Structure 1
Amino acid sequence: MTLPTETTARLHNLRPVGGLPTSSGEWVRDDLMWRSAAPFAARAHASDLIAGLGITCVIDLRDRGERDRTPGAWRHDDLAVREMPVFDDRLRDITFDGLPELYTYMTGDFAPSLVAAFAAIAEQAEQGVLIHCTAGKDRTGMLSAFVLDVLGVDRALILDDFAASQSHLGPEYLADLFADADVENLPGIVAHRATASPPELLADALDALECEYGSIAAFLLAHGVSQAQLESLRAALVVQGRRPKMPDAAATADQPR
């Protein structure tokens, strides 16, 4: 789906989770599940634009401290917001040397809250759902990968989709994220952690889960997702046959779902 320029200009890393083939020759819809970075204050009117895409539910994966930076960011009569902090409001207290260690925490100690967010996606997907954290790459990227994996998308395509965040998170994102800091003189490691989404990072995390549980679906089921929720997600997002021609976002932005 091609997004109108004004939409992507007001919400970093906004893109559908879909538009990809499955290993069985089906396609994942690209008009129902979306992902993005946080709606920073400088990105005005994001709520109207998101609702215009047919999204009815926003799942906010951030901790309370992160949410406090964007108070009242989602304000729209047609949007329900679910606050589901993956790190249980304890992200500030986690010490980690790099993103691989953070991912280990995410899928280990915080697996129950991560999987609870997946269950919420499954419940809301048919009505249109947006998931986001701060950058829309780590917590959001992991959950997007889970969705694509259980729908049968090839691993190489999942990794490509994950890595795409790096091209969507540039200087403008850093300027919004560090609005009160000198962006040009930020330590390199800070900027790297804020924008990096190398495919091997996700590959290693998924491989570790599959080694322990046998599959991503088995990991999800072991932490509370039901088989009915997996089937509901598939029914909502997977379509048969050739890739469908989805409505253009620019043409449907003002149309109700």
Structure 2
Amino acid sequence: MATYVLIHGGAADSWCWGPLAAELRDRGHEVVAPDLPCDDESAGLAEYADAVVEAIGDRGELVVVAHSFGGFTGPLVCDRVPVDLLVMLQAQVPAPGESPGEWWDNTGYGPARREADLRRGIAEGTEEDPRSFFLHDTPAALAAELLAEHQRGQAATPFGKSWPLDAWPKVPTRFLVASDDRFFPAEFMRRVVVERLGFQPDEMPGDHLPMLGHPKELAERLEAYRAEL
């Protein structure tokens, strides 16, 4: 039995992991999905990692899954506790010394997003509805609940401080791209993963939150990664 440690992204809470957590528990695993202090202006990435490490406690056989902005926290956890596997799920990949606020320009996110938007017929500067932008592949009831009850403010504090690691932690790492995400376009994510992690990512269907739209497939992919160890 493994312990899956699920790290959510920015301006969110751990509710988004519910369907995936159920799939993993049905397979006999333990799931730890803490809420990060993302709306606390006094909390930075160190405090985010503290929250995860505290939630892990003395559990072992850890598989860390980091989503979106959680990509800055997941490797910090791996640097502090023994982890068998890190899976980056449509996650931001930090570079040593880079702050989350610098990530966007450093990766060329803006031009990449504009190109992806134009390919799907969205003019520059268009304000898109969150439902169609982030959650177009998520079941309607889950998307509505997320938007109504599980959005949180995102404090600015973590974005101004450098990511503290000198190198990527020495832990087996996999990356899953959500091929239908409109926020982090797949072509952009593939490039960032190759440039920063040195390998080609795997892909699965889904918008920015594939754990809501495709929890069974995601669980199967995580289990397949674990079986390769």
Alignment TM class, shorter chain as reference = 0.3 to 0.5
TM-score, scaled to structure 1 = 0.30
Higher relative contact order (CA 8 A, sep 6+): 1
TM-score, scaled to structure 2 = 0.33
- Of the two, which has the highest radius of gyration? 1
